[in-house]
Amino acid sequence: MTGFLTLLYKELLRFWKVGFQTVFAPMVSTLLYLLIFSHVLEEHVQAYPGVAYTVFLVPGLVMMAMLQNAFANSSSSLIQSKITGNLVFILLSPLSYREIFFAYVTASVVRGLAVGLGVYLVTLVFFDVPLSSFSWVLMFALMGSALLGAIGVIAGIWAEKFDQLAAFQNFVILPLTFLSGVFYTIPSLPPFWQGLSHLNPFFYMIDGFRYGFFHASDISPYFSLGIVAACFVAVSWVTLQMLKRGYKIRH
């Protein structure tokens, strides 16, 4: 347990020491999205009846910030350690592959929640965002961050240079988040894009998370939670196999 807690502490200390870059900067950029999109689209889009577009936007942006930061945390920590070579300190230690996995994922969740909570609290100053069910909100926040934290571990292990990691981030993570219904509701899309959106696991995270705020969603939150949980289990299994085999880290 001490080994796991130490690695977790190290991972938390790592991002906290550069908190401006890892927590405050993403908060600012998320709030900028809110400012700009709400200004441009407030009059044009009505997502849920009786819910102002800006208020509709808040949970989606909070979730997006959480997902992106959870991914960034584990992936950038791992690739930095790999490239600078200090991953060897973990590899030499008796830490098990499970401990390594859970420490990186937990640290990702903590960073995701820190950024998400920060964005949410700031928006509360300006907008009246309802909170219908805290437990749904928390569940999706935890599951979503954990899933992206695990994907981050895979990306961090797989990528051999920063370039490849950036590609993963820009060509996989970013499109999936942007096209998941952060800025719109899926029923507003043409049928083809609606169908495609239902193949995007990120859609279920956003939709379920939003349910926790508005008590309204495109599909049942139970179904969404099931999808997200299934994805988390599958991705975790793959990640654990990679760590167990030492894929790209124990040659």
Partner 1 sequence: MTPAIEVEQMHKRYGALRVLAGIDLKVEPGEFFALLGPNGAGKTTLINIIAGLTRATSGRARVMGHDVVSHYREARRMLGVVPQELVFDPFFTVHETLVIQSGYYGLKNNGVWIEEIIHHLDLADKADTNMRALSGGMKRRVLVAQALVHKPPVIVLDEPTAGVDVELRQGLWRFIKQLNREGHTIVLTTHYLEEAEALCSRVAMMKQGNVVALDSVRNLISSVSGCSVRLRLSPDTLPPALQPLMSSREEGCYILTLAEYSQLEQVMAALRTAALQVLEMQVLQPDLEEVFIRIMGTHKIRKPGTLSV
Residue 20 lies near partner 1 (rule: CB under 8 A)? no
**Which is nearer to partner 1, 22 or 217 (by Cβ)?**
22
**Which is nearer to partner 1, 95 or 113 (by Cβ)?**
95
CA–CA distance, 110 with 20 (Å, rounded to integer): 16
Looking at 2-10, 62-70, 178-186, 198-206, which segment touches partner 1 (CB under 8 A)?
2-10
Name the minimum Å distance from CB 240 to partner 1: 16
Name the minimum Å distance from CB 5 to partner 1: 7
Residue 13 lies near partner 1 (rule: CB under 8 A)? yes
Token duo for residue 75: 């992936």
**Which is nearer to partner 1, 29 or 80 (by Cβ)?**
80
**Which is nearer to partner 1, 147 or 249 (by Cβ)?**
249
Buried b (16+ CB within 10 A) or exposed e, 205-239: bbbbbbbbbbebbbeebeebbebbeebbeebbeeb
Of residues 72 through 111, those in contact with partner 1 by CB under 8 A are 81, 84-86, 88-96
Count the residues of the shown chain that bind partner 1, applying the rule CB under 8 A. Answer: 27
Contact 71, 173 (CB under 8 A): yes
> Which ranges constitute the DSSP H helices of the chain?
2-17, 19, 25-41, 53-84, 88-91, 97-126, 134-158, 162-168, 174-178, 191-197, 201-214, 221-245
Task: Name the residues that contact partner 1, by CB under 8 A.
Answer: 2-3, 5-7, 9-10, 13-14, 17-18, 81, 84-86, 88-96, 246, 250-251
